Amino acid sequence: MTRAVDVVTLRDALASIHEPWSPQVVGTVNDCLAKVVKLKGEFVWHRHEAEDELFLVLQGTLTMRLRDGDRVLRPGELIVIPRGVEHCPAAEEEVHVLLFEPATTRRRGDAD
Amino acid at residue number 16: S
Is position 3 an interface residue for its own copies (rule: CB under 8 A)?
A: yes
Instruction: Give the N- to C-terminal CA distance of the chain in Å, as an integer.
Output: 35
Q: Which amino acid is at 97?
A: V
Measured in residues, the chain has a length of 112
Please choose, from the candidates 53, 61, 2, the residue with its C-alpha nearest in 3D space to the C-alpha of residue 23: 53
- Return the residue of 17, 46, 54, 61 that touches its own copies, per CB under 8 A: 54
Shortest distance in whole angstroms from residue 110 CB to its own copies: 17
Name residue 19's amino acid.
E
Q: Is 17 in the site for its own copies (CB under 8 A)?
A: no
| Rg of the chain, C-alpha, whole Å | 14
Residue 6 as a binder of its own copies (CB under 8 A): the answer is yes
CB of 44 to its own copies, least distance (A): 18
> Which of 80, 111 has the CB closer to its own copies?
80
Which residue ranges make up the site for its own copies (CB under 8 A)? 3, 5-11, 26-32, 34, 51-54, 56, 58, 66, 71-73, 76-83, 85, 98, 100-102
